[in-house]
A and B are shown apart, each in its own frame.
Chain A
């Protein structure tokens, strides 16, 4: 069996597609919101060196990735082992070597990769204007504003994605995720006062 077919089979028997989708949205949203908070905080703090802003945001992105990887792996691994044990009890047989035993080993890594990479890649996308600004020596404030805009766009896209998954009106779903971003920004601005 080819690797792709094997992975597809393992995902199917472990019913992982929905879990991975949930992790992607949850932690991806975490990543976008964390970056938004950091960028707004840096923006209201006044003039700041672009490389410091970039390093701070990159540090947070790496921490989010590691947090996503480790937390999902630990919890999924324990959950899969428990499910395998329960299935073995129900089947009254040792499932070593079966697709279920392979899924109990491989699926936690797959889910952990989704959970870790979602906030990391989303954070890197949000930081793209800062990268370009550093390369082209553009104004830090404009780059921060642009990155904040990208964060809002990504949050709206996650909302659209959630709307499509749940079968609700995509605009309503996007408005809800955007509202979370707006409330976050408002709270940060309020704290500054």
Chain B
């Protein structure tokens, strides 16, 4: 099965935890995760951020669950990069 190597999420989150703590908590999900968060807009109680996550086999459900458990809300998945599994047998019938 193909695995996701990059995921870009548009997220609305409360000010706390801040982006540093959020990045740490997402990165803690897997040793291969590399997290890049950019703040797009800051409101009185919330902020819009773009989370650019790369890793070996990024788990979108686990990432969304972590964001939601911290009070955030995933507005959209803006970009995904997936890679075919190396152990998949090659052949003309495989799509």
**Interface size, B (range):** 10 to 19
A15 at the interface (CB under 8 A from B): yes
Contact of A13 among B12, B43, B70 (CB under 8 A): B70
Which residues does chain B contribute within 8 Å of A15, judged by CB atoms? Answer: 16
Which residues does chain B contribute within 8 Å of A86, judged by CB atoms? Answer: 45
Q: Measured between alpha carbons, how far is A6 from B58 in the docked complex, in Å?
A: 24
> What number of A residues sit within 8 Å (CB to CB) of B?
15
A14 at the interface (CB under 8 A from B): yes
The closest CB in chain B to the CB of A100 belongs to: B71
A133 at the interface (CB under 8 A from B): no
CB pair B43–A93 under 8 Å, yes or no, is: no
The closest CB in chain A to the CB of B67 belongs to: A98
Contact of A9 among B17, B43, B45 (CB under 8 A): B17
Which residues does chain A contribute within 8 Å of B61, judged by CB atoms? Answer: none
Complex interface residues of chain A between 67 and 100 (CB less than 8 A to chain B):
86-87, 90-91, 93, 95, 97-100
Complex interface residues of chain A between 82 and 140 (CB less than 8 A to chain B):
86-87, 90-91, 93, 95, 97-100
CB pair A98–B45 under 8 Å, yes or no, is: no
CB pair A98–B44 under 8 Å, yes or no, is: no
B78 at the interface (CB under 8 A from A): no
B68 at the interface (CB under 8 A from A): yes
* Given A12-B21, A100-B14, also A90-B71 (CB < 8 A): no
The closest CB in chain A to the CB of B13 belongs to: A91
Q: Measured between alpha carbons, how far is A91 from B15 in the docked complex, in Å?
A: 11
A–B Cβ pairs within 8 angstroms, 15 of them: A12-B16, A12-B21, A13-B16, A13-B17, A87-B46, A91-B12, A91-B14, A91-B71, A93-B73, A95-B71, A97-B69, A98-B68, A98-B69, A98-B70, A100-B14
